[in-house]
């Protein structure tokens, strides 16, 4: 077996991070306040464009928790959310004692289906059971069809939240991701397109809401010399050192998007003559970052299933994963309400995420492509 393991998605430093981190150390701003935190928040806001306010926190999950609390989600409320996502999109709903309602994907982008959102919100308005918020996830670096979803949410007074943990750098009708909804969140986890080793960010239009969430993220400390608290809080702030890493990463975001798109293009070329294999389609409304390159295997034409591909790659010391297991099929959410579900089930049954790092060399990628081709063209040899 080849000793050089190829991972799904690894951190890729620009080289500038050390300089930012050194400056942070030299200044001794190492903890939850400091100039890099302020600068990183401003630079992300600037990168996204528009009249936006940002708050850097310890993770994307923490960001979503604070946003849902800001929206007023609590015990007995419903929150609608894409079913085809990572659990971090959903756990914060449970932290607040609310109930998730899962919504299926559409086939154009694999993201939350606007027609099903309309159907669900119209129905729940009739039965007086509207969700308080809807979390639209932008899957694997591709934007959902957010205008259609924003329109129906506005009609029903449902607060729209963008889970842009996987989509920093993606666009939608010329706009950057995380800029349409009232609240959006990003993740800077180690596997993301840029990373602070771990971290997240909230994006909002309302500076007062950001100030409130900042206070909660700082243990709800009142501006008093003694430790005065009127409200429960969390230790959710990002550290200045991690923000310094983020500043070095943000400098190369466009390069990282271009590199991940090149990885996807090389896979498309490598599998062009293999029956029944295609990349997650790129929807006409924007640029897919290809944070992960994901292939769908046609049930009729492909000669291997995702688990065979994952196994074949594992045998060659290459990491691959199935598509996210839909939330409505998770044991934790047994009996939860789901609107549709069969599209996400099919994508899960037939999709594989392939190594997609921006640092993946063409020769390493060829190892992956060759192993996938072998698995698909000579499945009996696996």
The residues of the shown chain that bind ligand PLP, judged by CB under 6 A, are 59-61, 85-86, 88-89, 137, 163, 165-166, 187, 189, 200
CA gyration radius for the chain?
A: 21
- Of 120 and 140, nearer to ligand PLP (C-beta) is 140
165 vs 313, beta carbon nearer ligand PLP: 165
3-state secondary structure of 167: coil
Instruction: Indicate the residue among 56 and 137 with the shorter CB distance to ligand PLP.
Output: 137
CB of residue 198 vs ligand PLP: minimum separation in angstroms? Answer: 6
Minimum CB separation of residue 298 from ligand PLP in Å reads 26
Q: How far is the CB of 9 from ligand PLP (least distance, A)?
A: 11
Among residues 130, 134, 122, 124, which one has the least CA distance to residue 162?
A: 134
Q: Which is nearer to ligand PLP, 36 or 163 (CB)?
A: 163
Cα of 265 vs its chain's centroid, Å: 21
Polymer length in residues for the chain: 382
Distance between CA atoms of 136 and 80, rounded to whole angstroms?
8
Closer residue to ligand PLP in complex, CB, 86/348: 86
CB-based contact 250:40 (threshold 8 Å): yes
Of all residues in this chain, which one has the CB nearest to ligand PLP in the complex? 60
Q: In angstroms, what is the minimal distance from the CB of 190 to ligand PLP?
A: 9
**In sequence order, what DSSP letters do the residues of 276-324 get, joined into one string?**
TEEEPPPPTTS----SSEEEEE-TTT-SS-HHHHHHHHHHTTB--EESP
Beta sheet of 277-279, edge-to-edge order:
277-279, 293-297, 351-354, 321-322
Cα separation, 29 vs 162, whole angstroms: 31
- d(CA 304, CA 311) in angstroms, rounded, equals 11
* Smallest separation, CB 161 to ligand PLP (Å): 11
CB of 345 to ligand PLP, least distance (A): 18
How far, in Å, CA of 82 to CA of 338, rounded?
10
Task: Judge whether 266 and 258 are in contact, CB under 8 Å.
Answer: no
- Nearer Cβ to ligand PLP (124/196): 196
* Residue 377 beta carbon to ligand PLP: minimum distance, rounded to whole angstroms: 32
- Shortest separation between residue 167's beta carbon and ligand PLP, angstroms: 8
Q: Which of residues 200 and 286 has its CB atom nearest to ligand PLP in the complex? A: 200
Buried b (16+ CB within 10 A) or exposed e, 177-187: bbbbbbbbbbb
DSSP state of 238: P
Q: Which is nearer to ligand PLP, 163 or 345 (CB)?
A: 163
């Amino acid at each position: 077996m080849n000793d050089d393991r190829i991972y799904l998605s690894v951190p890729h430093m620009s080289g500038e991070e050390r300089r930012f981190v050194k400056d942070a150390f030299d200044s001794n701003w190492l903890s939850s306040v400091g100039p890099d935190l302020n600068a990183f928040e401003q630079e992300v806001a600037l990168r996204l464009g528009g009249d936006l306010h940002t708050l850097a926190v310890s993770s994307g999950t923490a960001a979503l928790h604070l946003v849902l609390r800001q929206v007023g989600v609590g015990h007995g409320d419903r929150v609608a959310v894409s079913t085809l996502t990572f659990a971090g999109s959903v756990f914060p709903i449970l932290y607040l004692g609310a109930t998730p309602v899962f919504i299926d994907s559409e086939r154009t982008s694999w993201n939350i289906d606007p027609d099903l959102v309309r159907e669900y919100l119209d129905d729940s308005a009739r039965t007086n059971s509207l969700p308080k918020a809807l979390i639209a996830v932008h899957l694997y670096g591709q934007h959902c069809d957010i205008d259609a979803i924003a329109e129906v949410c506005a009609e029903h007074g449902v607060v729209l939240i963008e889970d842009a943990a996987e989509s920093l750098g993606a666009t939608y009708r010329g706009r950057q991701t995380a800029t349409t909804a009232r609240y959006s969140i990003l993740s800077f986890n180690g596997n993301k397109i840029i990373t602070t080793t771990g971290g997240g960010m909230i994006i909002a239009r309302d500076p007062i809401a950001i100030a409130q969430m900042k206070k909660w993220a700082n243990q709800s400390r009142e501006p008093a010399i003694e430790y005065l608290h009127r409200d429960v809080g969390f230790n959710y702030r990002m550290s200045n050192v991690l923000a310094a890493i983020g500043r070095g990463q943000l400098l190369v975001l466009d390069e990282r998007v271009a590199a991940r798109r090149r990885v996807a293009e090389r896979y498309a070329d490598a599998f062009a003559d293999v029956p029944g294999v295609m990349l997650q389609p790129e929807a006409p409304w924007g640029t897919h970052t290809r944070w992960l390159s994901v292939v769908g295997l046609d049930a009729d034409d492909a000669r291997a299933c995702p688990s065979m591909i994952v196994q074949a790659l594992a045998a060659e010391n290459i990491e691959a994963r199935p598509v996210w297991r839909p939330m409505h099929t998770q044991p934790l959410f047994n009996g939860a309400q789901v609107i549709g579900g069969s599209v996400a089930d099919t994508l899960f049954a037939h999709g594989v995420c392939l190594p997609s790092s921006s640092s993946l060399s063409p020769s390493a990628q060829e190892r992956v492509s060759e192993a996938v081709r072998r698995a698909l063209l000579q499945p009996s040899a696996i």
